[in-house]
Structures are given as structure tokens and as C-alpha cells.
């Protein structure tokens, strides 16, 4: 059995539901029941006896977009583990692009970032190239950049605080840098950070990474390692927006693409395109009365 939950524009919802049900039926997928989720007023829950996640996601997206959506097998429960990407998911910026502005090379760096996030470039190669271009930048620029440019995405703190209050462990895993991720994690409330370290010498970036690279494989491995510690049956949630989040999104029980690149969206079991990050709480069935302000 599949469960699909979605939040869409309320106008014409029933008409679109009829059209979506007909489209699903045409692909051999029957809609067993559809009703607003109790205690989560705006969430429409559709039960399907069978069918594959990708087809259901694609057809619901076609009929309800822009919407927030989660499709899962059997049940949707509050997860015991939340692993999230940072840049353009928990914060509205790509840190390396903003930092590059302090070196006067934002357009060059941002062009590489965009292609890497679309999945057009090998992530480790693209990361090392960009870090190399930042060689010689004063380390102090990072703190200025953090203060002047980096802003959490709406709902980030409430999402993390509420999941923690429901017994969920929270981990921020980034292909970006600890210099940014550590203060961001503290501000939003994450319990652990995994990321890259920028090498610094004499107060300046040396243009290299210190230690092992944190890439798509690291994100997936972190999710699996944390999930294994929780034991059998613990549900996992991952969230991200870029191509390097795909293995992590696919490894999680619930992989939500947040205003994501097409490749990441296509690999996820749902997405947020309409609301802010708290839409994930509604999709997980946590009523607003139980949200914890971050």
C-alpha cells in the first residue's frame, strides 16, 4: 500500500483530485481513499492499494503543483532520524558563492556551483576547483559573510526543534564547510555536523581542503551510520536540493527535495515547492498544536 500526502492550493482541490484519480486509474493505479488528514487540516491524504512511488509522485505533481508532497509505503510516521543538507535547504544561500563575493569572484564560483548542483559536474572536482580559487582570502571574511549574508530558510528552527521534541536525532551534513555549518547548526539546533574543512595558513585560506572530502557518498554514509545506531525499524528523513543529495534522499524512508534541482526532485519521495520547511511537519502528520517554536 502507498500513502500520499499533499498540501496544495485549496481552490478546485476536489476537481484536481478527480482528474488525478482518473490519471492514476489510466495507469492501473486505483485510489482507495482520499480525505483531509485529521488534526492536520490542510493535508490531503490519499491511500493507494498498490502502484510505484515514482508514477504516483509524477502524476500527483502534474495535477497539484505547486504543492508539498510525500509518498511512502505503508505508513508515514514521525522519523527517529533527520539528516539534512545545508546550502539552499536549511539556509537560503550557497555559502561558497557568497564567500566568493568577498574575493570579488562570485560569478565564476557561482557558475561552477550551479552546474555541480544540477549534476553536470563531478562534485569533488568542482569543490576543489572552487576552493582553489579562494586561495589567499582572509579567514575573517567568513565571519563577515556569516553575519551579513547567511540566513536560515523559513521554518528551519521550528522544523528541527519540533522533530527533536518528538525524539528525533538531527544531523546537518554538507558538501560545504564547517566554518559555516558549525554556527548555522547551532543557530538552527542540529545536534551533529558533518562537512568539509577549509585549510587556513597565516589567517588566510590556503586554497585546499583539510582532511577527507564530504560529498554525496558521505551524506549517504552518515544517514546509514546514524540509522544503524537507532536499530531496526527507525524511520529516517532526509532533505536536500542538489544532485549531491540524491543518494541520501534515496537511502532515507522519506526523502524530501526542498525547492530542489530537477535531478534531486526526481530522486526524492516527495518535495516542498509551496510552503516553508514546516510543511515537512504537516506531511509527517504532526499537527500545528504540537510544533515547537525554534
- Shortest spacing between CB 204 and Mg ion, in angstroms: 26
d(CA 31, CA 191): 40
50 is catalytic: no
Contact pick of 51, 79, 242, 255 for Mg ion (by CB under 5 A): 242
Contact pick of 44, 45, 59, 85 for Mg ion (by CB under 5 A): 85
Residue 25's Cβ-count burial label (10 Å; 0-12, 13-18, 19+) is exposed
Q: Cis bond leading into 107, ω under 30°?
A: no
Asked whether the beta carbons of 193 and 238 are under 8 A apart, the reply is no
Establish if 226 lies at the interface with Mg ion (CB under 5 A).
no
- Shortest spacing between CB 226 and Mg ion, in angstroms: 19
Establish if 88 lies at the interface with Mg ion (CB under 5 A).
yes
215 is catalytic: no
- Shortest spacing between CB 157 and Mg ion, in angstroms: 18
State which residue, 88 or 278, has the beta carbon closest to Mg ion. 88
Residue 47's Cβ-count burial label (10 Å; 0-12, 13-18, 19+) is middle
d(CA 189, CA 187): 6
Of the residues 11, 50, 85, 101, which is catalytic?
85
Contact pick of 97, 220, 226, 241 for Mg ion (by CB under 5 A): 241
- Shortest spacing between CB 196 and Mg ion, in angstroms: 13
- Shortest spacing between CB 26 and Mg ion, in angstroms: 36
- Choose the stretch contacting Mg ion; rule: CB under 5 A; options: 87-95, 100-108, 152-160, 195-203: 87-95
Contact pick of 68, 87, 253, 273 for Mg ion (by CB under 5 A): 87
d(CA 201, CA 184): 24
Asked whether the beta carbons of 165 and 292 are under 8 A apart, the reply is yes
d(CA 70, CA 270): 4
DSSP string, 184-230: HHHHHT-SEEEEEEEEEETTEEEEEEESS---HHHHHHHHHHHHHHH
- Choose the stretch contacting Mg ion; rule: CB under 5 A; options: 3-11, 121-129, 242-250, 285-293: 242-250
Contacting residues toward Mg ion, per CB under 5 A: 85, 87-89, 241-242
Question: Which residues are identified as catalytic?
Answer: 85, 87
Amino acid at each position: 500500500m502507498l500513502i500520499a500526502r499533499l498540501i496544495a492550493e485549496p481552490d478546485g482541490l476536489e476537481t484536481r483530485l478527480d482528474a488525478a484519480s482518473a490519471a492514476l486509474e489510466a495507469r492501473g493505479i486505483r485510489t482507495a481513499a482520499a480525505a483531509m488528514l485529521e488534526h492536520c487540516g490542510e493535508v490531503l491524504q490519499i491511500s493507494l492499494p498498490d502502484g510505484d512511488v515514482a508514477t504516483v509522485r509524477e502524476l500527483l505533481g502534474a495535477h497539484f503543483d505547486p504543492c508539498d508532497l510525500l509518498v511512502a509505503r505503508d505508513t508515514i510516521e514521525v522519523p527517529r532520524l533527520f539528516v539534512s543538507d545545508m546550502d539552499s535547504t536549511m539556509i537560503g544561500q550557497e555559502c561558497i558563492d557568497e564567500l566568493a563575493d568577498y574575493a570579488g569572484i562570485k560569478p565564476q564560483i557561482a557558475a561552477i556551483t550551479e552546474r555541480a548542483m544540477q549534476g553536470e559536474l563531478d562534485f569533488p572536482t568542482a569543490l576543489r576547483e572552487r576552493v582553489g580559487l579562494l586561495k589567499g582570502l582572509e579567514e575573517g571574511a567568513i565571519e563577515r559573510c556569516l553575519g551579513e549574508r547567511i540566513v536560515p530558510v523559513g521554518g528551519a528552527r521550528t522544523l528541527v526543534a519540533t522533530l527533536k521534541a518528538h525524539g528525533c536525532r538531527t544531523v546537518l551534513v554538507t558538501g560545504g564547510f564547517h566554518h559555516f555549518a558549525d554556527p548555522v547548526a547551532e543557530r538552527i539546533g542540529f545536534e551533529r555536523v558533518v562537512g568539509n574543512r577549509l585549510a587556513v595558513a597565516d589567517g588566510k585560506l590556503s586554497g585546499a581542503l583539510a582532511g577527507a572530502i564530504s560529498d554525496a557518498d558521505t551524506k549517504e554514509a552518515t544517514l546509514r551510520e546514524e540509522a544503524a545506531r537507532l536499530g531496526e525499524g527507525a524511520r529516517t528523513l532526509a532533505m536536500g536540493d542538489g544532485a549531491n543529495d540524491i543518494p541520501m534522499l534515496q537511502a532515507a524512508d522519506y526523502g524530501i527535495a526542498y525547492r530542489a534541482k530537477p535531478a534531486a526532485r526526481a530522486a526524492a519521495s516527495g518535495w516542498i515547492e509551496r510552503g516553508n520547511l514546516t510543511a515537512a511537519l504537516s506531511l509527517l502528520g504532526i499537527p500545528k498544536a504540537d510544533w515547537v517554536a525554534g
